Amino acid sequence: MLAGERLPYERAFGFDEAVDSDCRPRPHYAALFEELARLPPPELASRERLRDAIFRRLGITFAVYGDSTGVERTWPMDLVPRIIPAAEWAVVERGLAQRVRALNLFLDDIYTGEAAAIRDGIVPRRLVVSSNGFVREAVGIRVSHGARCLVAGIDLVRDGDGTYRVLEDNLRTPSGISYVLENRAALARVMPALSARHRIRPVHHYASSLLSSLQSIAPKARGSKPRVVVLTPGIFNSAYFEHAFLARQLGAELVEGRDLVVENHNVYARTTKGLERVDVIYRRVDDSFVDPAVFRPDSMLGVPGLMGALRAGNVGLANSLGCGVADDKAIYPYVPALIRYYLNEDAILPNVDTYLLWEPDQREAALARLHELVMKPVAASGGYGIVIGPQATEEQLEICRKEILCDPRAWIAQELVQLSSHPTFIDGRLEPRHIDLRPFVLAGERIEVVPGGLTRVALPKGSFIVNSSQGGGSKDTWVLAEPEVH
């Protein structure tokens, strides 16, 4: 049917989200294909123009580091949404909640517990203490409800047979939630008939969930409405739009380091009425920029004295310091074991098969197959520094080999996952493009998973790199409200 005249679509090798192996629409995509087939090409073009106009007018843009041509680019959202059936999502949701619960237990164990996971041999001590994300100064700082990672972004991919796997954890300052909300609003305006034909689980309550999570880590005696601020590195950060967006939705002030002052181990904001006390800081600056007095004397981005206030328990910080130790790619292979250790459960969402290059046997095996594997620097994020074996030149692989031998702790190698593909409009035609998914998980008094998340699309044909900083696009992601009617 899909190879019909109106809407030709040829699936790619691997798992396709929307069609089965015979290129027939999966049941939960049937209505979508019907609606898309009704759009004549000129109409499609005009909707794409409308979409661009909406994003540009709203100023929904992002900066690309190292790109000197334009400071901002308009957010790229494909008009074909991704659809996840309710039953499928139910499993993913439980898997995400489980994982974040275990990771927070691990963090609490490391920073305020007895490091039992190390003692009991689940994770090697040297990997923890040598992690870039391990913050010695955070040892002993308590966080209410153990919500050390209060906002997590867990990157998922689907392999060749459609199994959801965790590609990486983002536990420091994951971004993208604003695009989830803006994609939803924009698509409903551009493709109203399409949205109307589905029962989509809403996401617009995100800010109120985030606010209650944030307020749940306020110091105890601060009354019923603790003052929350959002701490941003400033307007030149690539995620500034999101920082402002969240502050506006939370009803919180968007502050920079220079707007905050610490006196007597209390944090204050400089306001037009003088200094006013701050109870919770939702920070979107890196650990090393939190308190220049402790971490980086040269930095203007942080708040001198903030560490003292944290130690005194006079302010809540989300995410708390040192979450990076748990999303270190060298710790990642141990997460299924951590889930078993802390929760006595099997991991619902499997990892991607990973080689620990600091283990001599595994290193040997991996080095022999570099051209088939994906090599990732453990400390980087955003797709930077990744070497994809099958697509790399001999020269690139040789450089990679040398770097691994020079510092094995700095790399992991993974089996190449044939990311699932999804119909995507490319020059007015539906073509398969590879996608991933970044769902967002909130911790606090309880764990809450936002339905769906940010689907990222690798726009060049055959590419697996979905990061927006590397030219990726995005899709509105729908979780259906109930089992779809066949």
Partner 1 sequence: MLARHAEDLFWTGRYLERAEDTARLLDVTYHGLLEGGASEAGMAWQEVLDALQLSNLFRARHRHVTAEAVEAFLVLDESHASSIAASIGRARENGRNVREHLSTELWEALNSTYLELRAEGRAEELAAHPHEFYRRVRSRCQLVAGAAAETMPRLDAWRFLLLGRLVERAEMTCRLLRVRAPRPVGDDHQDEIHYWLVMLNAVSALESYARRFGAEITPARVLELLVLSPEFPRSVLFCLRAAETQLGALEGGVAAPSVRRALSRMRAELEYQDVAVLLERGAEDALERTRRGIAQIAERIEACFFATGPSPERHVYESI
Choose one: 21-29, 78-86, 302-310, 399-407; the region binding partner 1 (CB under 8 A). 302-310
Interface with partner 1, residue 254, by CB under 8 A: yes
Q: Judged by CB under 8 A, which of 31, 115, 293, 367 binds partner 1?
A: 293
Least distance in Å: CB of 243 to partner 1? 9
Interface with partner 1, residue 417, by CB under 8 A: no
* Closer residue to partner 1, CB minimum distance, 116 or 269: 269
* Number of residues located near partner 1, criterion CB under 8 A: 37
Interface with partner 1, residue 52, by CB under 8 A: no
* Closer residue to partner 1, CB minimum distance, 165 or 265: 265
Least distance in Å: CB of 259 to partner 1? 5
Sheet holding 253-255, edge to edge: 253-255, 228-231, 280-283, 316-318
Closest CA to 156 of 436, 484, 462, 458: 436
Interface with partner 1, residue 231, by CB under 8 A: no
Least distance in Å: CB of 275 to partner 1? 5
Q: Judged by CB under 8 A, which of 222, 311, 340, 409 binds partner 1?
A: 311
Interface with partner 1, residue 261, by CB under 8 A: yes
Q: Judged by CB under 8 A, which of 6, 38, 49, 56 binds partner 1?
A: 56
Joined tokens for residue 79: 């008009």
Interface with partner 1, residue 275, by CB under 8 A: yes
Residue with tokens 């995620």: 239
Choose one: 89-97, 107-115, 259-267, 398-406; the region binding partner 1 (CB under 8 A). 259-267
Residue with tokens 């920082």: 243
Binding site for partner 1 (CB under 8 A): 56-59, 137, 235, 241, 244-245, 247-248, 252-256, 258-259, 261-263, 265, 268-275, 293-294, 304-305, 307-308, 311
